[in-house]
Structure 1
Amino acid sequence: MTAIDFAKGHGTGNDFIIVPDPADRLELGAAQVAALCDRHRGIGADGLLRVAPSEQGEAKWFMDYRNADGSIAEMCGNGVRVFARYLLEQGMADGDRIPVDTRAGVKTVSVTRDGLSVDMGPAEFGPESQTTVEGATWTGRAVSMGNPHLVCRLEDEERLDALDLHRQPRYDTVLFPEGINVEFVVGTAPRVRMRVHERGVGETLSCGTGACAVGAVALRHAGTPTGTCEVAVPGGTLTVTVTDRTVHLAGPAVIVAEGTARL
């Protein structure tokens, strides 16, 4: 039996296990990640962040992100902010700007008065597509934030509250061959509210890349494609700022525990 050190952190309730691996020697299989993320038989988390050395010159550390089911994901907006918080608290990074290598490229996290903000890169808008939950079908906008999203507007808050998002909503597997994160949103910019089903996880209290996708779509729908939009999620509030070149995601990121786990 192997023992590993870990920390636990979250950003607006989107929680992660952080595993330091500065020598890049730890091989975690999908089943091991899923066991660690199990909320009843493991530590419990929406995903796992392995801290590995980066091969990029501008970033010292690579965020090896896995979903709760052990599958690999390209990017995680809350995860990269929690990852940077861990680096700062462990003395593995310093200053007010921390570059982090991810599968979606190097993301720069900035220390702010209220938490951590990350430059997520531009939102890439795709075509309209449909999703189905419990027999009801909605049309949404495909958005890539380094990972795939489908943003669907609902008529009212009661409909949003009534959604059962425990199971993956149906989607176009041809358009989204790697799976999809589906966001349901009500309200208009500069403040909207959303719920999300994350691929490989289920419904989560928050999704950083999803909030970015929702904020970008909400601002477009309001006729102001740039600006700031507050996105209320079940776990709190995230602030999304869209410019001509990029999208910034800001919010809290905290480390809540450290310990040793057995594989």
Structure 2
Amino acid sequence: MYRQRIQFTKMHGAGNDYIYVNTLLYNIENPEALAIKWSDRHKGIGSDGLVLICKPDTDDADYKMRIFNADGSEAMMCGNASRCIGKYLYERKLTDKTVIRLETLSGIKILNLHLSDDAKSVESVTVDMLEPKLVNPEQYNKPEKGTLTADDRTFEGTFVCMGNPHFVIFVDDVKTLDIEKYGRILERDRCFPERCNIEFAQPLEDGTIRTRVWERGSGITMACGTGACATAVAAAVTERNGRTSRIKMDGGELDIEWKENDNHVYMTGPATIVFDGEIEI
């Protein structure tokens, strides 16, 4: 049987780690199964999922991203992964552009790369995450606020779609809350037929927001870019913060601005290459 050796790059954005493969070089026929196999932190490479860097389907984009969660399900979008792709493309000399148009299942995202003084590396990336949607179409067009029950607790949260669905819950003490218990239940609430990402957030005295994430298809993750955006929007909607927020997640911090002039959400944060490797399939 023919075996193909695939080169990959492990990267993370604020601790949200993925395996990246350039499909312009390799044909990946079954990414769903590979995402499950490779993401295993004991028997595989270890990650929150698999990201494919692809040729775009439209002339309006420079590249395309496909992302598969650790359970093999395909996600619409990932903010942390999009920043990592910007760094990958520039530092691997696949492009010399500092503004990159990235096709995703939730539309074309614009990546603005912020370079080092010598222009050899990408220090951070700002992503135009487009407009948030504040109504959950699966909840019978109810307003964005809602109340859900998980086991022994009832949570009031705000639904925000940032290309993928998020339910943001503000709590008094995010440290002591059993994120795994409640996140697992809420992800699969009947209000979310396609499941949902759950954010538990606590506004702090310094104006930042401490957020922990239960990510649809991956479980607890160190960070979530779209989740950080959803948290910032929910904080503004509920008047817990203004239109600019610093979101502190388990793996790092992201700066979010929800601009009034275009109603777009802009996310700025780091991207880090961990290591390169090769694996046989």
| 2:16 alignment partner in structure 1 | 14
Gaps of 5+ in 2: 116-122, 136-143
Write out aligned runs for 1:217-232 (5 A): 217-222=234-239, 227-232=243-248
Give the letter aligned to residue 46 of structure 1.
Answer: D
Could you tell me whether the CA contact under 8 Å between 1:165 and 1:196 is conserved in 2? no
Aligned partner of residue 124 in structure 1, secondary structure: coil
Q: Deviations over 1:35-81 (max 9, x none)?
A: 01111111111111111100111212110111111110100010111
Tell me how far 1:33 sits from its aligned partner.
1.4
| 1:26 alignment partner in structure 2 | 28
Aligned partner of residue 213 in structure 1, secondary structure: helix
| 2:258 alignment partner in structure 1 | 242
- Tell me: CA distance 1:41–1:110, structure 2 relative to 1, closer, same or farther (3 Å): same
| 1:121 alignment partner in structure 2 | 130
Percent of aligned pairs with the same amino acid: 34
| 2:141 alignment partner in structure 1 | none
Aligned length: 260
Gaps of 5+ in 1: none
Is 1:197 aligned to 2:206, yes or no?
no
For 1:43 and 1:130, locate their aligned partners in 2 and report how far apart those are by CA, in whole Å: 38
Aligned partner of residue 75 in structure 2, secondary structure: coil
Could you tell me whether the CA contact under 8 Å between 1:100 and 1:108 is conserved in 2? yes
Tell me how far 1:172 sits from its aligned partner.
6.7
For 1:98 and 1:16, locate their aligned partners in 2 and report how far apart those are by CA, in whole Å: 20
Tell me how far 1:222 sits from its aligned partner.
2.5
| 1:58 alignment partner in structure 2 | 60
Could you tell me whether the CA contact under 8 Å between 2:188 and 2:196 is conserved in 1? no
Tell me how far 1:146 sits from its aligned partner.
0.5
Give the letter aligned to residue 257 of structure 2.
Answer: T
Tell me how far 1:139 sits from its aligned partner.
1.3
Could you tell me whether the CA contact under 8 Å between 2:87 and 2:113 is conserved in 1? no
Q: Which sits farther off after the overlay, 131-140 or 55-64?
A: 131-140
Tell me how far 1:161 sits from its aligned partner.
3.0
Could you tell me whether the CA contact under 8 Å between 1:131 and 1:171 is conserved in 2? no
| 1:259 alignment partner in structure 2 | 277
| 2:51 alignment partner in structure 1 | 49
Could you tell me whether the CA contact under 8 Å between 1:190 and 1:219 is conserved in 2? no
Q: Which sits farther off after the overlay, 21-30 or 117-126?
A: 21-30
Q: Which sits farther off after the overlay, 13-22 or 184-193?
A: 184-193
TM-score, length-scaled by structure 2: 0.86
Aligned partner of residue 36 in structure 1, secondary structure: helix
TM-score, length-scaled by structure 1: 0.92
